[in-house]
């Protein structure tokens, strides 16, 4: 039987067998943890020096491409992970959540990084704020890599996704990761790390793996490090209060199991499509991953007059669920992760029964499907009903971390919000309603206690990813019992692993630090038009001040006829006089077009296409007789590794455009995004 190894300081370590890890399906040993002692001081130092150095030799764009390469390699080898993950009790559908969901997270962060992060390792979080009357002194914010390591402690229920959802933004931020998976399912995580290492896209030292105890790891962490945790609220509190975490103010992000809810609004009755959608959602969340999801529905809040109808429908649905060995055809729910977990769930069901009654489960005739499953960690779905929550309801405090949920009746929708809040902070709640007015009224009240709200109706159900599916582009976390942390959330998650710093200085100094043009900074003017330069040759701050153009009556008339825009401010002299401007003014989009005519170099050249405008503002009106000119300045360059359809390399250039009138007043301001060709090889 194999001995799992830790991946520490560039080496796979672990030869002596320690704890046997049994299959959740049949109890047979899948692998052993190792008994070798790990040097955690060396581990942390290796991450900071070797891992940090190698990651910082890359920029955001290069790390995004590396994430994509890792995701592609893992995708090609997912069958190996599928086969091993079966021993954790996962069905094919469960693997779609954990394994494919993990790959999807890598792909998503690779894509977000390429779209939203700059070249280099400094993120400018503007805007720049002038701090002096004449803009000689200004301030802004930057985000930079912290220079430490991130310790990720993961739960047993998602051995692949749980690691990758933390690793992806950490890696993108340039921070090495030290991953500690839960022991009971760590054999799947170990295989995933081996595959990532084999991909060739993982810089040395950027990912280390601990199999077994963390020992004195926390003692060696410093102020620039970060700790993240997924698991129980009790363990989160224990780790958060480690003396070294407290004394050094080390950031600690927790995502804890919570008592999530599903609310059926009073406007939905059995005659409505949403009623069946609600029941389907609850049933799916009870049985996916055998109910072992931090986002699983634990409390089912329904109007009192719908209790029997909901219970009957759920009973009918759950009775069709075949539980057993995932390799057997027709099995729809697998095992819990371990025998210990099964015993814990059973004990908590008994606690819940002190204030509730059984609707489904516990009849004593349950037998899982498949050979050897009598030695596995199987439990049937259990649906409970707390008829009188006003007399106490254990479901607000006790979580049976398995296929267990409790129906709780309510009197009014406001009462449902109060009952929901008794969970003391949750990751997610689903509100099923047909009435947008109910959603508009109740969602802000629910939001105070939740990290995410899933608003479900027949329209959303056509594409909804479901109550229990955190998405890379949205926050995953919640207040209170849910841990008070925040994971995912798109590029926001990357920012968690960067240091935000305010910088002050002259515009030229700020431009040098942010690596993008800051208005008021010294510009570079040459005889060569900036549009005539290839991507590599173009300099930040390279600028063109155009010739002037006087706006005429004919310009306004012609633009109005061409565009079809005959708004009164452009054509009605009397009405315009009575407006706040006191006169007719030119179309804002004429000013935009006229500015382009001033700064565009019309001949064939490296600038290939304008594909967008950002931050467009019309500051002051332009009237007939006014004279305008534009300043075009290279603001930012982003090398995304793009090529044209015919294979020619190109980069993205963001141009700052300022349009002034004859009084040197700013009349229009915006950024232009262009594709610019690189030099032919």
Helix (H) or strand (E) holding 314: helix 307-318
Cβ pair 1, 313 in contact under 8 A: no
- The active-site residue, picked from 165, 190, 285, 294, is 294
Burial call 477-501: b when 16+ CB within 10 Å, e when fewer: bbbbbbbbbbbbbbbebbbbbbeee
Cβ pair 468, 288 in contact under 8 A: yes
Neighbours of 457 (CB within 10 A): 22
Distance of CA 361 to the CA centre of its chain: 36
Q: Is 634 a catalytic residue?
A: no
Taking the C-alpha atoms of residue 324 and residue 90, their distance in angstroms, rounded to an integer, is 10
Q: Using alpha carbons only, give the angle 634, 637, 641 rounded to the nearest 5 degrees.
A: 150
Neighbours of 388 (CB within 10 A): 11
Q: Is 255 a catalytic residue?
A: yes
Among residues 472, 565, 613, the alpha carbon closest in space to that of 110 is found at 472
The DSSP bridge pattern shows strands 357-360 and 297-303 to be: unpaired
Among residues 229, 177, 44, the alpha carbon closest in space to that of 241 is found at 229
Taking the C-alpha atoms of residue 202 and residue 182, their distance in angstroms, rounded to an integer, is 22
Q: Using alpha carbons only, give the angle 575, 579, 585 rounded to the nearest 5 degrees.
A: 80
Phi, psi of 556 (to 5 degrees): -70, -45
CB burial class (10 A; 0-12, 13-18, 19+) of residue 207?
buried
Greatest pairwise CA separation for the chain in angstroms: 92
Query: In the beta sheet, which residues pair with residue 3?
Result: 32
Cβ pair 537, 531 in contact under 8 A: no
Burial call 304-315: b when 16+ CB within 10 Å, e when fewer: eebbebbbebbe
Q: Which two tokens stand for residue 214?
A: 């963390």
Place of tokens 């370590």: 13
Residues in the chain: 681
- The active-site residue, picked from 165, 186, 190, 255, is 255
| Integer CA distances (angstroms), 666 to 248, 287, 307, 545, 570, in order | 48, 61, 64, 14, 20
Long-range pairs of 634-637 with CB within 8 A, sequence gap ≥ 24:
634/517, 634/530, 634/538, 634/539, 634/540, 634/541, 634/542, 634/543, 635/516, 635/517, 635/540, 635/671, 636/118, 636/515, 636/516, 636/517, 636/540, 637/119, 637/535, 637/538, 637/540
Taking the C-alpha atoms of residue 78 and residue 57, their distance in angstroms, rounded to an integer, is 30
- Cis? peptide before 127, omega within 30° of 0: yes
DSSP code at position 387: S
DSSP code at position 678: P
Query: Nearest 10 degrees: CA dihedral of 634, 639, 645, 647?
Result: 120
Among residues 588, 586, 569, 576, the alpha carbon closest in space to that of 624 is found at 586
Catalytic residue annotation: 255, 294
């Amino acid at each position: 039987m194999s001995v799992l190894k830790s991946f520490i300081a560039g080496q796979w370590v672990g030869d002596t067998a320690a704890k046997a890890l049994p299959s959740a399906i049949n109890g047979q040993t899948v692998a052993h943890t190792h008994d070798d002692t790990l040097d955690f001081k060396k581990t942390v130092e290796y991450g900071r020096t070797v891992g940090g150095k190698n990651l910082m030799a890359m920029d955001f764009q290069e790390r995004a491409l590396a994430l994509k390469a890792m995701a592609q390699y893992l995708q090609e080898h997912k069958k190996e992970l599928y086969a091993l993950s079966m021993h954790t009790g996962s069905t094919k559908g469960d693997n779609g959540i954990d394994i494919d969901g993990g790959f999807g997270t890598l792909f998503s962060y690779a894509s977000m990084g390429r779209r939203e992060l700059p070249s280099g390792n400094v993120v400018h979080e503007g805007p720049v704020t002038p701090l002096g009357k004449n803009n000689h002194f200004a301030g802004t914010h930057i985000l930079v890599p912290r220079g430490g390591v991130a310790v990720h402690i993961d739960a047993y229920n998602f051995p692949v996704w749980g690691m990758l959802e933390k690793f992806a933004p950490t890696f993108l931020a340039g921070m090495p990761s030290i991953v500690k998976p839960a022991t009971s399912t760590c054999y799947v995580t170990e295989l995933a790390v081996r595959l990532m290492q084999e991909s060739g896209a993982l810089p040395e030292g950027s990912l280390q793996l601990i199999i077994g105890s963390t020992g004195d790891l926390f003692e060696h962490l410093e102020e620039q490090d970060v700790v993240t945790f997924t698991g129980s609220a009790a363990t989160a509190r224990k780790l958060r209060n480690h003396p070294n975490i407290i004394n050094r103010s080390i950031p600690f992000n927790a995502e804890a199991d919570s008592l999530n809810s599903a609310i059926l609004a009073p406007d939905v009755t059995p005659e409505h499509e949403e009623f069946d959608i609600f029941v389907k959602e609850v049933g799916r969340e009870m049985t996916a991953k055998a109910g072992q999801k931090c986002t699983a529905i634990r409390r089912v809040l329904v109007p009192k007059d719908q209790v029997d109808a909901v219970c009957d429908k759920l009973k009918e649905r759950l009775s069709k669920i075949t539980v057993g060995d995932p390799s057997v055809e027709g099995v729809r729910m697998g095992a819990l992760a371990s025998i210990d977990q099964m015993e814990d769930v059973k004990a908590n069901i008994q606690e819940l029964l002190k204030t509730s009654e059984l609707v489904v489960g516990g009849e004593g005739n349950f037998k899982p499907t498949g050979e050897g499953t009598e030695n596995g960690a199987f439990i049937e779905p259990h649906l409970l009903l707390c008829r009188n929550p006003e007399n106490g309801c254990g479901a607000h405090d006790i979580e049976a971390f398995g296929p267990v949920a409790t129906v709780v009746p309510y009197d009014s929708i406001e009462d449902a919000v109060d009952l929901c809040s008794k969970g003391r902070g949750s990751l997610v709640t689903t509100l099923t309603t047909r009435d947008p007015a109910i959603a508009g009224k109740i969602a802000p009240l629910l939001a105070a206690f939740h990290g995410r709200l899933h608003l479900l109706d027949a329209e959303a159900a056509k594409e909804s990813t479901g109550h229990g599916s955190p998405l890379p582009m949205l926050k995953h976390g919640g207040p209170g019992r849910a841990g008070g942390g925040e994971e995912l959330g798109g590029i926001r998650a990357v920012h968690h692993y960067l240091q935000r710093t305010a910088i002050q200085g002259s515009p030229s100094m700020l431009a040098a630090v942010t690596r993008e043009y800051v208005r008021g900074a010294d510009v570079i003017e040459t005889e060569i038009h900036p549009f005539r330069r290839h991507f590599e040759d173009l300099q930040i701050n390279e600028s063109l001040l155009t010739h002037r153009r006087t706006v005429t009556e004919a310009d306004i008339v012609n633009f109005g006829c061409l565009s079809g825009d005959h708004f009164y401010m452009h054509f009605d002299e009397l009405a315009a006089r009575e407006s706040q401007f006191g006169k007719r003014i030119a179309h804002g989009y004429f000013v935009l077009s006229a500015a382009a005519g001033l700064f565009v170099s019309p001949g064939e050249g490296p600038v290939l296409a304008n594909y967008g405008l950002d931050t467009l503002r019309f500051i002051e009106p332009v009237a007939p007789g006014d004279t305008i000119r534009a300043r075009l300045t290279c603001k930012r360059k982003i090398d995304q590794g793009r090529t044209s359809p015919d294979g020619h390399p190109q980069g993205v250039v963001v141009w700052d455009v300022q349009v002034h009138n004859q009084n040197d007043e700013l009349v229009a301001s915006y950024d232009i995004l262009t594709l610019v060709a690189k030099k032919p090889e």
